[in-house]
Structure 1
Amino acid sequence: MRKFITCSTLLLCTYCLFAQKTDRPNVLILYTDDLGYGDLSCNGATAIATPNIDRLAQNGISFSNAHATASTCTPSRYSILSGRYAWRKKGTNILPGDANLVIPTDITTLPKVFQQAGYQTGVVGKWHLGLGARSPIDWNKKVTPGPAEIGFDYSFIFPATADRVPTIFMENQRTLGLEAGDPIAVNYQKPYPGELTGKEHPELLKMPNDPNQGHDGHINNGIGRIGFMKGGKRSEWTDEELGYVFNNKALAFIDNSLKEQKPFFLYYAIHNIHVPRMPGTEFKGKSKLGYRGDAILELDHTVSVIMKGLKERGLLKNTIVIFSSDNGPVLNDGYLDQSAETAQQLNYKPGGIYRGGKYSAFEAGTRVPFIVQWPQQVAAGKKSAALVSQIDLMASFAALLHIKLPAAEFTDSRNYLSTLLGTSAKNRDYIIEQPGNQQALAIVKDGWKYITPSNGPALMRGVNIESGYSKEEQLYHLTDDPGEQTNVAAKYPQQVSALKALLQKTMAE
């Protein structure tokens, strides 16, 4: 029987040959949402298994002292893409879904560094950094500025988070599936006439919301959201499809980069495990931890799909994969999905040994999973206790790609490439952590952590998380007390003074 080589097979072989020859690594950031340090079996979780994420750690280097810059999503995302602490800029706290773009378009950003090095750059998944320059946003035409203006050649996103309107996909800053006769309007003040809301019609909800947290506005897919929306009925997504759609778009971007014969930088901002946790139906009920556990299983599946895709395309060896989270964990964050109850029954600790969680000034707020895999350069199975911050990705990749950051342009990003690749155990000099309450900041250096005095409740009752807020100065020796159980500020006043002075100096830069 005669054998034929199809055009598609020949094209794939050409792609793979190109992929092996390139001297510039592809870079993929898998950035998850609300995943705690203790949510992975490779970090000690026993009530749930994450074999595909564990495999990343087994084939690369896993960090136990890595941090997002904030314990909430928007500021962490601002920092990882801009290389700057979000507390330096007003309006960078958790954004509503109709906020304008918060990253300035005239600064150097992480994707712009890759563009300068000749990469194809893309973002897929959750955005939550604002769009446009003026309000109200017109969702019925291309919205600018957005991802393209800060350095992404391609974008496929939803504008904010899954619990906020508008519940739509946007491709290259245009609403997907929009019909001219059904224009979209969004506001966060009051419902539109005739709009069905979760507050007024709880009988329409397939997932009950916590009545104290405000997820009782616009209903989409039987789930109440924050904010109000009219129009765009055929544009709205369903939660169960999100993982599949984003995975397909991520792989399609990679394929297009191969077609263009360019290395790629992909920031895949995975929507899981943020509320509302409504994973694909095949994952529902598969964990012991309610829908939050099911969403973790879907997240682990996403990692397997993307890694398999890299392998099939011959890209695995020369692709740097970074896996991390935007902040620490939360169980009840607006929806009653059995996550808090099942965690209590199993004594499950999503933050591991660390205190606090999402929104908190304590360690579980910003200490997150952080794994780097690069088979061509990074030794497999390494573990590092080095102090690492996501803010340093911009300067570190600039160094790897021999791109000089503008000398006159201030950033907080520093080059710790050798630490990230495991060739050095060098700690970052110090890191600054921003809790949900922007009145407080924390600084960590040489195993010591200082938290500034601030107002606010010690326990955030809505989410049942210790805030870390106190009117007193706090000092913890993390080396001996990683759970931050003993405030030793009174015992070590010189250490308090030194950290306070360093924090004030940094804030003044």
Structure 2
Amino acid sequence: MHFSRLKRHMIFFSLLLSLYTEAQQRPNIIFILADDLGYSELGSYGNTFNETPALDRLATEGMRFSCFYAAAPVCSPYRVALMTGQYPARVGITDYLRPRAARHLDTGYVTLPELLKMQGYHTGIVGKWHLSGYVKEGAPEETLPDRHGFDEVLVSENRGIGEGTYFYPYDFNREIVKRLPGTHEYITDRQNLEALEFIKRNRNQPFFLFLSHYAVHTTVHGKPELVRHFQRKKNAGASPPSQQNPENAPYKKWPSGSKATRNNPHLAAQLKGIDDGVGAIVHLLKELQIDRNTLIIFTSDNGGETTITTNAPLRGGKSTLYEGGIREPFIAWWPGKIQANAICKQPLASYDIYPTLAALTGAKGRHQPLDGISFSSLLQNPEGSLPQRDFYWHYPLEKPHFLGGRSAGSIRSGAWKLITFFDDGHKELYNLDEDPGEKTDLAAVYPSRVAALDATLQQWQQSVNATH
């Protein structure tokens, strides 16, 4: 009897050990997304004004990608690709969703957090969703993150977020209760706090944390003490306070410096807050001794707004299909698993993230057909090979975007990139290997190449039921 009890205990503890070992083999995933952060804003991507030491350290200790594409030049369709692994055109969300929009991400899709939940992950989102209209704004229905596989939904919006509200109280969610000391709680600081607490709560189980920042979306508005720091720096950009804020009140929108077109001190201050949070997360992971079992990814949803920054050496910015609108900073960090101080130059896209994380976690389950492919092999060998393929964008607009973007579609095939403008039908052709800044339109020089690429683009549009 005693031996039988002992045997049962041994089997029980063996099972526990097996489950624990299996859980340890599944990496925790922290996906950090900045909003409207341009390609060249980080020190590791060449910026000499902004201060991003924690993110630059991630790049040094991990892998930096030099040609990672957003699936769209604006917010909502990027998030569609991230959550579904499909082209936004296939899903039918190709522009950012307005607060009263009837369209939203349908619950029929198996989202990334839902897929990971099938693998035993605890999931959480801290911050911006923007894949639905909002009932509180007059939308007929909504599907917020809790309907798409997130166990915890923290400081996420339930109203429109277009103009942003970085200081408490937050217009995008008036139900959020202030937690940080002082009168003027700052949303990036609050998000960093919620992220750290989520990690602590879930350190003993596999977790997926989507830290989705509201910064650095305009209206850019930094904490006054950080703004003053950057305003004192050499070559800091300057602008007077707006007519809406003639008294230059530091906690009111559009104070001095917020409309500077280069080296914007408010953008720099907001980015510094994101960077501080990254540093705190890495410190906590090491303190909890789970850093070597945690993958951190940092990127942005589309290019920076050219009214307040430059995406040089790339052309254009948010709302355009030029490289400055769709090529993003992308850093992956996983101590002992990802090659340190490496650069991956292969073109990849945001719809590849879903299949990559599925491969890294062994996630299995029924889901929609995926348009992306896994690049997990590149994390150890950035020069490895992936199947040859073309990249596509579909961005139809009823009228030009207020930042200058036009209704257009695009294809990249090898070094060649074609942009077809839907409003007037004209086409532009660039060789990105020789001209990454898209300064020289070669459409008139290579008309047969234009015709071939345009035909391939149209075939793709038909295959995904894209309309314009």
TM-score relative to the length of structure 2: 0.77
Equivalent residues in 2 for 1:161-176 (5 A)? Answer: 161=161, 163=163, 167-168=170-171, 175-176=175-176
Asked if structure 1 preserves the Cα contact closer than 8 Å seen for 2:306 and 2:318, the reply is no
Secondary structure at 1:419's aligned position in 2?
helix
Map of 1:152 onto structure 2: 150
* Structure 1 position 406 matched with structure 2 position 406: no
Task: Report the AA paired with residue 343 of structure 2.
Answer: K
State the distance in 1 between where 2:50 and 2:119 align.
40
Partner of residue 445, structure 1:
413
Shift of 1:147: 0.7
Distance 1:135 1:45, change over 3 A: closer
What SS is found at the alignment partner of 1:368? Answer: strand
What is the alpha-carbon root mean square deviation over aligned residues?
Answer: 3.0
Q: Which residue of 1 aligns with 2:195?
A: 250
Q: TM-score, normalised by structure 1?
A: 0.71
Whether 1:480 and 2:434 are equivalent positions in the alignment is: yes
5 Å matches for 1:32-431? 32-99=34-101, 102-130=104-132, 136=138, 145-156=143-154, 157-159=156-158, 160-161=160-161, 163=163, 167-168=170-171, 175-177=175-177, 241-258=186-203, 261-287=204-230, 288=236, 289-332=264-307, 340=308, 350-404=310-364, 406=366, 409-426=368-385, 429-431=389-391
Contact 1:37 1:369 in 2 (8 A): yes
* Distance change in 2, residues 1:254/1:168 (3 Å): farther
1:291 deviation in Å? Answer: 1.2
CA contact (8 A) 2:132 2:143 kept: no
Q: Is the 8 A contact 2:78 2:301 kept in 1?
A: yes
Q: Deviations over 1:440-496 (max 9, x none)?
A: 1111121110111322xxxxxxxxxxxxxx642111100011111111123223322
- Equivalent pair of 1:98/1:131 in contact (CA under 8 Å): yes
The match for 1:497 is: 451
The 8 Å contact of residues 132 and 142 in structure 2, kept in 1 or not, is answered as no
Q: Which runs of 5+ in 2 are unaligned?
A: 1-19, 231-235, 237-263, 396-400, 464-468
1:374 CA displacement: 0.7
- Residue range with higher mean Cα deviation, 433-442 or 109-118: 433-442
Q: How many Å apart are 1:94 and its aligned residue? A: 1.7
CA distance in 2, matches of 1:421, 1:269: 26
2:426 pairs with 1:454: no
SS at match of 1:354: coil
How far off is 1:251 after superposition?
1.3
Q: Size of the alignment, in residue pairs?
A: 396
Quick one: distance in 1 between partners of 2:164 and 2:57?
33
User: 1:172-215, CA deviations, whole angstroms, 9 ceiling, x for partnerless residues?
Assistant: xx94359xxxxxxxxxxxxxxxxxxxxxxxxxxxxxxxxxxxxx
Instruction: Pick which of 83-92 and 354-363 moved more.
Output: 83-92
- For the 8 Å contact 1:27–1:264, the answer to whether it is kept is yes
Residue 406 of structure 2 contacts residue 421 of structure 2 at CA under 8 Å; is this kept in 1? no
Q: Contact between 1:277 and 1:295, CA under 8 Å: does it hold in 2?
A: yes
SS at match of 2:210: strand
